Amino acid sequence: MKALLFTGSLVAILTLAGCSGTGPVVEDTTEGTSQPEEISIVDESSAADTEAGIVSTDLDSGIVTLESIEAKIVPIYFAFDKYNLEDEDIETLRTNVEIVKGDTAAMKIADQYTLKLEGNCDEWGSDEYNFALGLKRANAVKEELINDGIEANRITMVSYGSSSPVCTEKTQECWSKNRRVDFKLLP
Amino acid sequence: MRIFIGVLFSVLMLWGSDATIEVRKSVDSLPSIAVEDASSDYQDGLSKRFFRVLVGDLNVLSIFNVDRDYATADFEKEDVADLHKEIDYVVRYRLVEDNGVMIVNVKLINNDKVMHTIDYRIKNPRQYVFLVHTIAAEINDFMGADPVDWMKEKVVISRTTGPRVSEILITDYTLSYQFSIKKNGLNIFPKWADKAKKYLYYTALTNGVPELHKYGIYDKSDVLILKSDGMLVCSDVSDDGNRLLLSMAPKGQPDIYEYDVQNRKLKRLTRYSGIDVNAQYLADDKIAFISNRFGYPNVFAKKIGSDAVEQMVYVGKSNSACSAHNNYIVYKARESSNAFSKNTFNLHLISTKTDFIRRLTVTGINEYPLFSRDGGTVLFVKKYKNQSSVGVIRLNQNKNYLFPLTGGDIQSIDW
């Protein structure tokens, strides 16, 4: 998996470097040392837009596609109001990494994809704290992936809070399915 | 009667000088009021809808016992309908259509004498709801009660209708008026950008990357302001509209940032390895915010530019949202660790000057508390038994009112 996500990732890295270079530059007032800087705003183009041409193939054809790889990846689930990973979650993560490694290597496109982590919460509260909670869940997964040797630049994150449920029943089992981090592969 | 009301309000003001002290009073001691419809035009149901909204508003004023029975009357007569002879006050209204313009005449009658008259013209009858709120506020002012200018305010909500699908609606505090301004994709956390409420900020997650947009509700302009990986929410706007408090996480770490609208500069205000979100401007260049720096979400405050952080709330196991007004903070607290409990999240009111604490809600999930500009009323979102509602709490009157949403859930709200 490390080889998958590391080797020959020049295109992806260059793309991501271009994005991060135009992101907000921040003054940290708590340190009291850095000066305010002008920031470049809203002139970014997404990695997905600039990587045109690398798209999934027919799902029904039996050919390995981005969607078919994603379908094999198991989400990481979390306890109520928690964002720490348990040992079994780390094992699941490593299994996911091996799946992605094998399939994208077979496609010979291992160096051309970005991993996107989507943090989610159950329906208990839709406020900012819960969006942050979803993001911390994604970040916990990201840090574990980095510990496994995956470059941080190849991982993006977004939190959907409680706005992207996979289950809408009013049961404990259902809510537990929504406290999760999903994995997406982006061209 | 007015002397009686004056005495009543003097007593209420005395007890209500600290809003954290719960005021209990007998409903029977309030004067009664009824509404009479004298309209001959607008027989398409508008005059009855006008009636229902007006009755609801008079109830929310919390200074009357409101008779809810629909009645008609002759506008020019001074005496009230027979069924209202025992009622202390009668509000009689007449809607008149005049070349597409709606004329509204209102009388407030007491003891068969007209005490007050109100006349309005409205070009767009579809927006009659705001006119009703204005009339109710004027009656309230005439009676000398606490101001209710917040009634007339435009409210903006985000309504989720499915996974990753939401729309932004301009509405009133009762949800009677609804106008959709953003329908496609996932558009959340709307926040008014200026006091005139011509523009608002919102977060767009349509493309999977959090974006902060500024939208003009009259000119329909839509400007992308910022992008950030992870999350990006406008939590508060300064009174002059020149500064924004943002919850954002460009490197996966949710912290509070301040954005200068005019020079487009961004400052990072907090730096904590856990969660810092939901910042609100306080007086003296301070902010209140939610942080889990003690292991659970709670309300903290700090001066902008200072490292020192002060814990503001000492009651509640998990306090994950707040709104501040002068010396008062209303916050959301988890009452039970059991997600199936009926009273999962309630709102509480504290004063930073006293030890008093007052619970404002009893059941359900209660969140997004927002003080009115005068601090006398709290607007919030309630979710209970699969129903999403806007709630209104009149602090000094000790009254709560709910206005349910038909279809979907309220994701967030601002007024």
Tell me if B367 sits within 8 A of B321, measured CB to CB.
yes
A46 pLDDT more than 80: no
Q: What residues of B are in contact with residue A70 (Cβ under 8 Å)?
A: none
Contacts of residue A165 in chain B, CB cutoff 8 Å? 163
Q: Nearest 5 degrees, angle CA B79-CA B80-CA B82?
A: 115
Asked whether residue A21 carries a pLDDT value surpassing 80, the answer given is no
Q: Is A157 on the interface with B (CB under 8 A)?
A: yes
- Cβ neighbour number for residue B269 with a 10 Å cutoff: 24
Query: What per-residue confidence (pLDDT) applies to B177?
Result: 95
Please give the single-letter amino acid code of residue B245.
L
CA distance A91 to chain B (A): 23
Q: Distance, in angstroms, between B81 CA and closest chain A CA?
A: 48
Dihedral pair phi/psi, residue B362, rounded to 5°: -120, -45
Is B279 in contact with A127 (CB distance < 8 Å)? no
pLDDT in tens, B231-254: 999 999 999 999 999 999 988 899
Residues 6+ apart with CB under 8 A from A108: none
State pLDDT tens for residues B118-173: 999 999 888 999 999 999 999 999 999 999 999 999 999 999 988 999 999 999 99
Least confident of A42-51, A160-169, B105-114, B132-141: A42-51
Longest dimension (CA), chain B: 70
Asked if the Cβ–Cβ distance from A41 to B340 is below 8 Å, we say: no
Q: How far is A116 from chain B (nearest CA, A)?
A: 10
Closest CA to B226 of B211, B244, B208, B241: B211
**What pLDDT does A8 receive?**
35
User: Lowest-pLDDT range, B30-44, B269-283, B368-382?
Assistant: B30-44
- Tallying the residues shown for chain B, one arrives at 415
pLDDT of residue A42: 36
pLDDT (tens digit, 9 = 90+) per residue, B195-226?
999 999 999 998 889 999 999 999 999 999 99
Interval A117-126 mean pLDDT: 84
Whether the predicted pLDDT of A60 surpasses 90: no
**Which A residues in the span 115-144 are in contact with B, Cβ-Cβ below 8 Å?**
116, 118, 122, 124-136, 138-139, 142
The residue of chain A nearest to residue B289, with distances taken between CA atoms, is A129
Q: How far apart are CA A54 and CA B36, in angstroms?
A: 69
Tell me the mean pLDDT in the region A92-105: 84
ipTM of this predicted complex? Answer: 0.86
Mutate to test the interface with B, among A25, A45, A126 (most CBs of B within 10 A): A126
Nearest of B306, B273, B305 to residue B291 by alpha carbon? B273
Q: CA A96, CA A74: separation in Å to the nearest integer? A: 7
B13 CA to centre of own chain: 22
Chain A residues lying within 8 Å of B317, measured CB to CB: none
Contact at CB, B250 and A131, closer than 8 angstroms: no
The torsion angles phi and psi of B341, rounded to 5 degrees, stand at -65, 150
Q: How confident is the model at residue A150 (pLDDT cuts 50, 70, 90)?
A: confident
pLDDT digits (tens, 9 = 90+) for B262-316: 999 999 999 999 999 999 998 878 999 999 998 889 999 999 999 999 999 988 8
Residue A84 DSSP one-character state: P
A30 part of contact set with chain B, CB < 8 Å: yes
Beta bridge pairs of residue B244: B237, B259
pLDDT of A177 > 50? The answer is yes
Tell me, yes or no, if B227 comes closer than 8 A to chain A by beta carbon: yes
* Chain B residues inside the 8 Å CB shell of A164: 163-164
With bands split at pLDDT 50, 70 and 90, how would you rate the model's confidence at A125?
low
Return the residue in B268, B269, B273, B302 with the most chain A beta carbons within 10 A, the one to mutate for interface testing. B268
> How many angstroms separate the CA of residue A166 from the nearest CA in chain B?
8
Nearest CB neighbour to B275, from listed A133, A170, A172 = A133
Question: Is the Cβ pair B344, A81 closer than 8 Å?
Answer: no
- Residue of A27, A80, A158 lying closest to B209 (CB–CB): A158
Across the interface, do A124 and B277 touch by the CB < 8 Å criterion? no
